[in-house]
Structure 1
Amino acid sequence: MRAFALPLAALAFGLAACQTPAPSTPPAPSPEQAATGVTPNTFRMPTGTGCSGEVERFQAVMDNDLATGHTTKGVHTRVSAEISTARSTCAAGNEGGAISQIRATKARFGYPG
């Protein structure tokens, strides 16, 4: 067990070093959102099935995260570009490919599955 302690500690230290804050500041939330600090009660998750539903739901989450200050404009732009690619893949009839792209984007940016 002790043989694993040093490599695990080194891995933890290495991963911690990667957690530097972004230099840009998040956009200011609207006065309504700033007052509560949470998603407004008017937010509605898009409905739909298949890849088009997955694409639209993830875009709605990203738009909400930008509006509430939980992500930066730069991250929103990069994720939205990847969502757009998945949207095109879905429109071309490649359901599995589009859903795989959405899952990969979520994983890359730390969103749950």
Structure 2
Amino acid sequence: MRARLFFLAAFAASIGAGCNAARPPQVAPSGPAAPAPMAQTLPPDGPGCAGAVARYRSVVDNDLSMGHVNQSVHAQISNEIAEAASACSSGQDGRALSLLRASKSRHGYPG
């Protein structure tokens, strides 16, 4: 009986020791390093369509720098933003905001 009790105690101790065993160090995968993310800055604030144009431009420029969009898509969106900015500067706030909404929808940006 004593041998059985000793065996059970030794078995329990070995199980408990396995839980506390040191893990081998984690090795970072080798290969090309991911690009360092740019410092996130808050998009510019501003009233009306001018602020909306500036915020969308800021988001799209950041997406280009992070590699989320390629240069040709960025150029297309930038042209759409320029059209909205032109409408905004000529006092057509509703048209400018509509152009921005259409561009965001077309390229998968939230409304």
Supply the distance in 1 between the matched residues of 2:84 and 2:95 (Cα, whole angstroms).
Answer: 8
What's the CA shift for 1:94?
0.5
Establish whether residue 96 from structure 1 lines up as the match of residue 97 from structure 2: no
Within 5 Å, which residues of 2 pair with 1:71-110?
71-110=69-108
What does residue 52 of structure 1 align with? 50
Supply the distance in 2 between the matched residues of 1:87 and 1:69 (Cα, whole angstroms).
Answer: 24
Q: Secondary structure at the match of 1:34?
A: coil
Supply the distance in 1 between the matched residues of 2:75 and 2:83 (Cα, whole angstroms).
Answer: 13
Establish whether residue 34 from structure 1 lines up as the match of residue 35 from structure 2: yes
Supply the distance in 1 between the matched residues of 2:99 and 2:63 (Cα, whole angstroms).
Answer: 20
Supply the distance in 2 between the matched residues of 1:70 and 1:84 (Cα, whole angstroms).
Answer: 21
Greater RCO, CA 8 A, separation 6+: 1
Supply the distance in 1 between the matched residues of 2:93 and 2:49 (Cα, whole angstroms).
Answer: 5
What's the CA shift for 1:45?
1.0
Letter in 1 for 2:71: K
The runs of at least 4 aligned residues of structure 1 exceeding 4 Å deviation read none
What's the CA shift for 1:104?
0.3
What does residue 22 of structure 1 align with? none
Supply the distance in 1 between the matched residues of 2:55 and 2:43 (Cα, whole angstroms).
Answer: 6
Establish whether residue 69 from structure 1 lines up as the match of residue 70 from structure 2: no
Supply the distance in 2 between the matched residues of 1:109 and 1:67 (Cα, whole angstroms).
Answer: 17
- Count residues in correspondence: 79
RMSD, aligned α-carbons? 1.7
Rg comparison, structure with higher value:
2
Gaps of 5+ in 1: 1-30
> TM (normalized to structure 2)?
0.67
Supply the distance in 2 between the matched residues of 1:61 and 1:39 (Cα, whole angstroms).
Answer: 12
